[in-house]
């Protein structure tokens, strides 16, 4: 078994594109500032999978400056990480996710996001923990300027 940790943070900017979290579009007055579609949860997840395999970070596989990856669907990033994992004969055991943001309130979207993750990861929901937290008003996240996501996961040899 191997453990992986991933973290990602993005700024919020005035609305343009949909705000995506775990592949789910969430109504919000702001969007995420990113070269890709800005799905902070999927980025942290992919980082954790790459990390568990000691395969570097997202930048190793996806160039932020590449115009081809402009607005890229982050599910492609997770799929790449899962493919690298499968190639090495590992599978996911469980994932534990914490999203830290002041707004929007995520509680009502938790089950929808978990359904989406179940599909993306092909992992049963009882192996996916998803927690929504605030930063108690502290720093940039507390002021609603950014959103942060942490992921810890375990992979196991087939
Ligand atoms: Zn990111």
pLDDT tens for residues 92-130? 999 999 999 999 999 999 999 999 999 999 999 999 999
Cα(158) to centroid of ligand 1, in Å? 29
Neighbours of 72 (CB within 10 A): 17
Cα(5) to centroid of ligand 1, in Å? 14
Q: What is the spatial distance between Cα 38 and Cα 64, in angstroms, rounded to a whole number?
A: 12
Q: What is the spatial distance between Cα 49 and Cα 54, in angstroms, rounded to a whole number?
A: 9
Q: What is the fold of 2-157? A: 60s Ribosomal Protein L30; Chain: A; (3.30.1330)
pLDDT band at 64 (very low <50, low <70, confident <90, very high): confident
pTM over 0.85: yes
Cα(63) to centroid of ligand 1, in Å? 12
Q: What is the spatial distance between Cα 111 and Cα 129, in angstroms, rounded to a whole number?
A: 10
Bond before 104 cis per omega within 30 degrees: yes
Ligand 1 being an ion, which residues bring their Cβ within 5 A of it? Answer: 8, 43
Each domain of the chain, given as residue ranges in start order, spans 2-157
């Amino acid at each position: 078994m191997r453990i992986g940790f991933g973290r990602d943070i993005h700024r919020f900017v005035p609305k343009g594109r949909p705000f995506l979290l775990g592949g789910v579009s969430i109504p919000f007055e702001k969007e995420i500032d990113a070269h890709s579609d800005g799905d902070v949860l999927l980025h942290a997840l992919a980082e954790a999978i790459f990390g568990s395999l000691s395969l570097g970070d997202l930048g190793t596989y996806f160039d932020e400056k590449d115009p081809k990856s402009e607005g890229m669907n982050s599910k492609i990033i997770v799929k790449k990480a899962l493919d690298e994992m499968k190639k090495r004969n590992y599978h996911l055991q469980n994932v534990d996710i914490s999203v830290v943001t002041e707004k929007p309130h995520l509680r009502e979207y938790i089950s929808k996001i978990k359904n989406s993750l179940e599909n993306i990861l092909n992992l049963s929901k009882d192996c996916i923990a998803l927690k929504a937290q605030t930063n108690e008003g502290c720093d940039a996240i507390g002021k609603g300027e950014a959103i942060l996501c942490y992921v810890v996961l375990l992979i196991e040899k087939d």
